Amino acid sequence: MNAIKNRLVNKFQVGAGLVFGVCSIPAHFWDQEVLNLPVKNQTELVKNISSSSQDRERREKLASLLVEQNPKRVLVELPETRAARQIGVLGLSTEERIQRARIQSQFNQNAEVLETLQPVENADLNCEVSYLKSLSFRRMRRYSEAREQLKKALSICTGETLKKAHYLKARLAAMHSSEESLIVLENFLSKYPTDVLTDDVMLWKAHVFMDLNQTASAQKALSEIIERFPQGDMSVQAQFERAFNAIQWGDRAEGLKLLEKQSTPQARYWFGRLLLYPDLNSYQGEKAALGEPEKGRQVLQNLAHDFPTNLYGYLAAQHLKELSVSKPLKSAIPKSKTLTENPTYQIFRCLKRKKQDSEAVWVLDRLVKENPSEADRIVLAKEYLDLKKPEKAHQLMRRAGLAFPRFPTNKKSFFYELAFPDAFPELYQSASLRNALPSELIRGLSREESQFDAQIVSWAGAVGLCQLMPQTARKSSIELLNPLVNIDTAAEHLRALFDDLQHPILVIAAYNAGADSVKRWLKKMPNEVPVDFFIEQIPYQETRNYVKKVTEAWFTYRWLNRDLELGLLGEKPLIKSLSSGTKVSVAPSSKG
């Protein structure tokens, strides 16, 4: 197939047509078009292709074609590729090395950034070299080296790079709550009071105040975010934290008033839950007389109906002991007239009929770049799924904001089938049975870890579908790129965590933050703590969000398998001390 294409590609001109089988394909659909473009037009094409960090195979093919015409462009315009490694970087100037490092940094190729910049002359006097090194060291968790390079960058940088360096310094400072951290955070806020990053730093400052038990200062910082950045991406979180803090710190009436004004599932849940069970630390307690149980039940009932596969909707249903979610029925995806009339889509359909799947995927990729409507995205996602590209289907839905559709109604069940694809079903079911785990939990974890991209390697070095670290998995990166090996290894790790920690919420948290961290958090809590309160008290925001997303993906896959039931987090959603020996069953579902 490739030999035929390579012979044909030399015969067509840009804008002409290529007849492949019975499908007439404009030349610009082929990656080989780069060979026919003037050099001045190649840059945009290269940047367009290389912007997709997921499409590594295609990028490698493009690089191998480019290297024949312009080797330097492979080094300077693309991230690390096999072709680039074969060329080597010895002939690059300082500016070309920096440009190469910029691209590598965008793709989280952090070790490669350090390698590219290592021989740069007068590196200590170069602002961007110091900043790129500090960023790579931070991502690799080499914090002392990151601070050393950051100190150099702050002394010589100006403009936008100086701002990014100050932001990175603030981010590092926020990792450790101290008065010194507050000074660093305040320094950024005084220099950049209206920047798009300012509300992020303000939230970090509020969290440091909370860790230092400076409650009034924390509430003031949260209120300032809400007032100054009402439409900012930190405002919703600040509103909830201000309300939750008020309740924790003794102002129950104020906290409930603030919660009632909010519409997120999290806020609605806690408003209803605290009316039903007024004590944060238990589902009963001496404060029960303060509650309004009937109003609380109504709030929770509405939430459970609106968001049955959301963590908070599920917890609401558990309190009510009633899971009112309809079973999913198959529903057809509406046809799209705009796509049907699109010449590019017609070419795609022709290739698909002829079972020229790899070429069809290339054309589908081009259609996605045309900024399709939501309705068209759904059709294109289904096409990816038909071509056995579940990762592309899911990623398209996620980019469209459809990763967690709100209402799991029968009318729109196809949203869920695309956003939650049944990727690698035999592998997940086999690993599930061998390790006595729900297959939906392993699949849900993979969905959030890798978006089902089996070949992805994170900036931290985590590999494959379940994002395993080679040193933890005791397997090489090459082995972990194999879906079978990756899923099996992850399932074995999850089983060991279940045997140790005994509760699915603790296991999911430990997969992200480590078992030692989870045990440390448990020691600071009562012997028996509600699941909802434990989740809100997880000190790492990344882990808090991770637990919610993985749990919701797990529940949604159960729903799609017609197997969602109460009790998945325990008959009463409680987490007990490890010494109690109380375990929550996580046997495979009836669907494997």
Catalytic positions? 449
Dihedral of CA 60/61/64/69: which sign? negative
Q: Please tell me the distance from the alpha carbon of residue 134 to that of residue 150, in angstroms, as a whole number.
A: 5
Q: Residue 159: which H helix or E strand, with range?
A: helix 159-173
CA distances from 148 to 120, 133, 152, 226, 343 (A): 17, 10, 7, 35, 55
Amino acid identity, position 190: S
Buried-exposed string 105-143: b where 16+ CB fall within 10 A, e elsewhere: bebbbbebbbebbeebeebeebbbbbbbbbbbbbbbebe
Q: Among positive and negative, which fits the CA dihedral 536, 400, 444, 110?
A: negative
- The first and second tokens of residue 444, run together, are 């849900």
CB distance 79 to 106 below 8 Å: yes
d(CA 132, CA 141) in angstroms, rounded, equals 14
First vs last C-alpha separation in the chain = 39
Q: Are 210 and 194 in contact (CB under 8 A)?
A: no
Structure tokens at 212: 């230092």
Q: Which amino acid is at 316?
A: A
Question: Dihedral of CA 250/256/261/267: which sign?
Answer: positive
* CA–CA distances in Å: residue 277 to residues 239, 269, 358: 22, 11, 56
* Token pair in block for residue 494: 């999850």
Residue at 357: amino acid letter: D
Alpha-carbon torsion (449, 454, 455, 461), positive or negative: positive
Task: Encode 271-334 in three state secondary structure.
Answer: HHHHHHCCCCCCCCCCCHHHCCHHHHHHHHHHHHHHCCCCHHHHHHHHHHCCCCCCCCCCCCCC
Count of C-beta atoms within a 10 Å radius of residue 5? 14
User: DSSP characters for 502-561?
Assistant: -SHHHHHHHHHH-HHHHHHHHHTS-SEEEHHHHHHH-S-HHHHHHHHHHHHHHHHHHHHT
Those residues whose C-beta lies under 8 Å from the C-beta of residue 478, and which sit 6 or more positions away, are none
